[in-house]
C-alpha cells in the first residue's frame, strides 16, 4: 500500500510543481518585457510538458528507459483516445474552427520520424539531435504563423495565456519558480522509483507501467484542461492542444532525454505500441480535414478503443 501512496504522492507533486513552474516562468517573462507571443509558443509549451520530461530524464538516469519510452508513446495514445474521448462524452468537440491541418501533418511526420529512429533499436545523442532539430523547425514555423496572425489582428496574446498575470509581484513569481524547480525532480523521483517497484512486485514490465500508469498519470493535466474546456463550451481548442502536445512529446521529450543516456527500444514497441500510436493519430484525419465534430458516439468509440488497448497489453 505504501508504494502506491508514494507513487500517487510523486504524481501529485509532479503535477502541482509543473503548474507552479509554468505560472512563475510565464509571469517572470511578461514582467521582463518578453512578448506574450514568444511566451505562449515556448515557455507554456515546454512548461506544460515538464512532468513528462522530468519523468523521462529520471527514468533514463535510473536505468529504467522502458518507463521513459512508454511514458511518451502511452501519453500520445492516451491523449488522442482518452483525452479527446472522455470530454466528447460530455459535449461534442467542435473542430470546424480549429485550423490544425498544418500542425496535424507535422505531428504525423514527427510520428513517422520517431518510428523510423526507433527501428535502429536505440535512441542515442545523435537521434536526440535529429528530433530536436525537427522540433526547432516546428517551433520556428509556429512562430512565423503566429506573428502573421498577430499582424492581421487575429489573436490577442495575453488572452490566450491562461496563466498570464502581468502585475504579479516578483516575490510571488519567485515562490512559484522555487516550488516548481524543487517539486519537479522530487515528484519524478518518487513516481519513477515506486512505479518500478510496482512493476517488479506485480510481475509486469517497466514497458507496461510506462504505457499505462505513468502515461495516464502525466496526461492528467491535459485531461483536466480538455474537460474544463468542454464544460465551458470552448471545445474548439481541444484538438489543437492535443496535436501540439503529442508533437512535443515525440520530438522534445525523447530528444532531451537521450542526452542523459541511451534509450534502448523494447521489441514490444516495434511490434505493437508504436503502430497503435500511429493508428490513433490517423484516426484524427476525418476530424482535422473533414471538419467533423467529435460527437458522443465518437467519444464512446475512442474511449472504448483505449480501454481495449490497455487490456491487450495487460493480459
Average pLDDT of each block of 10 consecutive residues along the chain (315 residues)?
86 81 77 63 64 87 90 92 88 71 90 97 96 93 72 53 71 87 82 80 84 82 71 66 85 94 93 96 88 87 95 87
Residues 6+ apart with CB under 8 A from 283: 80, 81, 302
Q: How many other C-beta atoms lie within 10 A of the C-beta of residue 98? A: 21
- The residues pairing with 123 across neighbouring beta strands, listed in sequence order, are 263
* Residue 108 and residue 249 in contact, taking contact as beta carbons nearer than 8 Å: no
Amino acid 124: pLDDT: 96
Amino acid 228: pLDDT: 67
Q: How many other C-beta atoms lie within 10 A of the C-beta of residue 311? A: 9
Phi, psi of 42 (to 5 degrees): -120, -65
All three cell numbers of 282: 490517423
Domain boundaries in the chain?
2-314
Phi, psi of 81 (to 5 degrees): -80, -40
Amino acid 162: pLDDT: 57
All three cell numbers of 55: 519523468
All three cell numbers of 281: 493519430
Highest CATH level, class, for 2-314 = mainly alpha
Side-chain half-sphere CA neighbours of 84 within 13 A:
32
- The residues pairing with 93 across neighbouring beta strands, listed in sequence order, are 294
Amino acid 37: pLDDT: 53
Residues 6+ apart with CB under 8 A from 84: 93, 226, 238, 239, 242, 294, 299, 302
Amino acid at each position: 500500500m505504501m508504494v502506491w501512496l508514494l507513487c500517487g504522492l510523486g504524481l501529485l507533486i509532479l503535477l502541482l510543481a509543473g503548474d507552479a513552474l509554468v505560472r512563475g516562468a510565464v509571469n517572470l517573462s511578461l514582467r521582463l518585457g518578453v512578448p506574450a507571443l514568444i511566451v505562449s509558443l515556448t515557455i507554456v509549451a515546454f512548461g506544460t510538458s515538464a512532468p513528462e520530461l522530468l519523468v523521462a530524464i529520471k527514468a533514463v538516469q535510473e536505468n529504467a528507459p522502458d518507463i521513459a519510452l512508454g511514458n511518451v508513446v502511452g501519453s500520445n495514445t492516451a491523449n488522442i483516445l482518452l483525452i479527446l474521448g472522455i470530454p466528447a462524452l460530455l459535449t461534442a468537440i467542435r473542430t470546424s474552427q480549429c485550423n490544425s491541418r498544418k500542425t496535424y501533418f507535422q505531428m504525423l511526420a514527427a510520428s513517422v520520424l520517431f518510428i523510423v529512429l526507433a527501428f535502429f533499436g536505440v535512441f542515442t545523442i545523435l537521434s536526440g539531435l535529429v528530433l530536436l532539430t525537427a522540433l526547432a523547425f516546428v517551433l520556428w514555423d509556429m512562430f512565423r504563423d503566429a506573428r502573421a496572425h498577430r499582424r492581421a489582428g487575429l489573436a490577442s496574446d495575453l488572452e490566450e495565456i491562461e496563466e498570464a498575470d502581468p502585475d504579479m509581484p516578483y516575490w510571488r513569481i519567485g515562490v512559484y519558480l522555487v516550488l516548481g524547480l524543487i517539486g519537479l525532480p522530487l515528484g519524478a523521483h518518487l513516481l519513477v522509483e515506486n512505479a518500478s517497484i510496482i512493476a517488479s512486485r506485480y510481475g509486469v514490465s517497466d514497458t507496461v507501467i510506462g504505457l499505462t500508469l505513468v502515461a495516464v498519470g502525466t496526461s492528467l493535466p491535459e485531461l483536466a484542461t480538455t474537460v474544463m474546456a468542454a464544460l465551458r463550451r470552448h471545445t474548439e481548442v481541444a484538438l489543437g492542444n492535443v496535436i501540439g502536445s503529442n508533437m512535443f512529446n515525440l520530438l522534445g521529450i525523447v530528444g532531451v532525454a537521450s542526452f542523459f543516456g541511451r534509450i534502448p527500444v523494447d521489441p514490444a514497441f516495434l511490434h505493437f505500441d508504436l503502430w497503435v500510436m500511429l493508428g490513433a493519430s490517423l484516426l484524427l484525419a476525418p476530424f482535422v480535414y473533414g471538419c467533423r465534430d467529435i460527437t458522443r458516439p465518437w467519444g464512446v468509440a475512442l474511449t472504448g478503443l483505449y480501454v481495449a488497448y490497455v487490456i491487450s497489453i495487460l493480459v
